[in-house]
Amino acid sequence: MRSVDDLIKRGVTGRRILVRSDLNVPIKDGAVADDGRIRASLPVLTKLLDHGARVIVAAHLGRPKGAPDPAYSLRPVADRLAQLLGRPVGFALDTVGESARLLASDLKDGDLLLLENVRFNPGETSKDDAERHEFAKRLALLTGGDDDAGAFVEDAFGAVHRKHASVYDVATLLPHYGGDLVRDELTVLRELTGDPARPYAVVLGGSKVSDKLAVINSLLPKVDKLLVGGGMCFTFLAAQGHEVGDSLLEPDQLEACRAFLREAADKIVLPADIVVATEITDDAQTQLVAADAIPPGSKGLDIGPESVRAFAAVLAEARTVFWNGPMGVFEVAPFAAGTKGVAEAVAAVDGLSVVGGGDSAAAVRALGLDANAFGHISTGGGASLEFLEGKTLPGVAVLDEA
């Protein structure tokens, strides 16, 4: 894979460079609520701009239905990006239409243009190769339309598991390079799947077992301990025969959980106590109960302090840790302590600690934890999991092609 530094050595001054960035951030009341992914995109953008490139950024936000939708506009992202870069950011009102073409052609050295949400065009996510490729061609034309004029930099690790036009197809049309963010993510994930320092512990949370089945199958033979929290722990607890009240439960995954417990009972660590309530509100009346004694009508919404201590004891011995998924509904104050406690234990690991993107990364920021205390915070939860599952990531594979 050629790097963005290789591109800069070839010369970028005066050239229009299309960069696929991951700017898929939460928007609240018309403003960016968490700018973590924007900040992670800054190094490559700054590097190119400082070398005189004319940078065109393609990105998505949310899941619009292939048509413009003001709720998913990247306009607030453009404003925040300009603040963080400390320089103006042009904003195209469309993806490959008149606004994008005119603004791209007017770029000067060191200028940056952000296109409107690429998912406003149905060709971006189309399952039809021809439709997707046609949209990619129009994106590529924004750089000037020939190999000598433009180039493509893939820096959106959070999107590389998607075979989308701005991720995959455009790389088949332009000289292509991997951005620093993609490089760094792959370096860490290859360490996790290669020969990691031991003991190697994985912490999995989040809502559903079904979302993590493949990664559990892949990692269970390789890890020394698998710590399970979040909503997914209740299907494991039910598989052991325990009552879980009104907690999140996937009945169709009970047998899969039983199979995991049979084959790796010595590796899997489940919560010992649970914080329960009947509603998810800031003033909810909570109760701390044993994990095998959740009252009927109550929902398990966080792991309890005994569970945090047990998880932390395992993590204190670990030399490699991968964490993906919160331990509870951390966004609501009464159910945040489990996630915060486990996050602090991950940060304290004497070795490599990796936060697997998505809600885990958001939790680190939302709970006011020091991001620098972790070895690596991924920007791509889904992409990280698919890599650990052993799947081919289309947006990475295409970068390895000449």
* 292 is annotated as contributing to ligand binding: no
- How far, in Å, CA of 3 to CA of 9, rounded? 10
* 22 is annotated as contributing to ligand binding: yes
* 162 is annotated as contributing to ligand binding: yes
C-alpha distances (whole Å) from 280 to each of 72, 300, 330, 331 are 27, 10, 11, 10
Residue of 369, 376, 375 whose CA lies nearest to 342: 369
What are the two backbone dihedrals, phi and then psi, of residue 352, each rounded to the nearest 5 degrees?
Answer: -85, 120
DSSP 210: T
* 173 is annotated as contributing to ligand binding: no
- How far, in Å, CA of 380 to CA of 161, rounded? 9
* 194 is annotated as contributing to ligand binding: no
* 359 is annotated as contributing to ligand binding: yes
* 158 is annotated as contributing to ligand binding: no
Residue tagged 């569970």 (tokens): 307
* Active-site annotation, residues: 37, 208, 358, 382
Pull the structure tokens for residue 179: 């951005």
* 169 is annotated as contributing to ligand binding: no
- How far, in Å, CA of 30 to CA of 311, rounded? 39
- How far, in Å, CA of 272 to CA of 305, rounded? 9
* 54 is annotated as contributing to ligand binding: no
C-alpha distances (whole Å) from 256 to each of 38, 208, 235, 261, 314 are 38, 13, 10, 9, 24
* 358 is annotated as contributing to ligand binding: yes
* 243 is annotated as contributing to ligand binding: no
C-alpha distances (whole Å) from 348 to each of 13, 32, 184, 345 are 43, 30, 21, 5
* 49 is annotated as contributing to ligand binding: no
* 24 is annotated as contributing to ligand binding: yes
Residue of 235, 176, 180 whose CA lies nearest to 204: 235
Enumerate the known binding-site residues for substrate. 22-24, 37, 60-63, 119, 162
Enumerate the known binding-site residues. 22-24, 37, 60-63, 119, 162, 212, 300, 331, 357-360
Enumerate the known binding-site residues for ATP. 212, 300, 331, 357-360
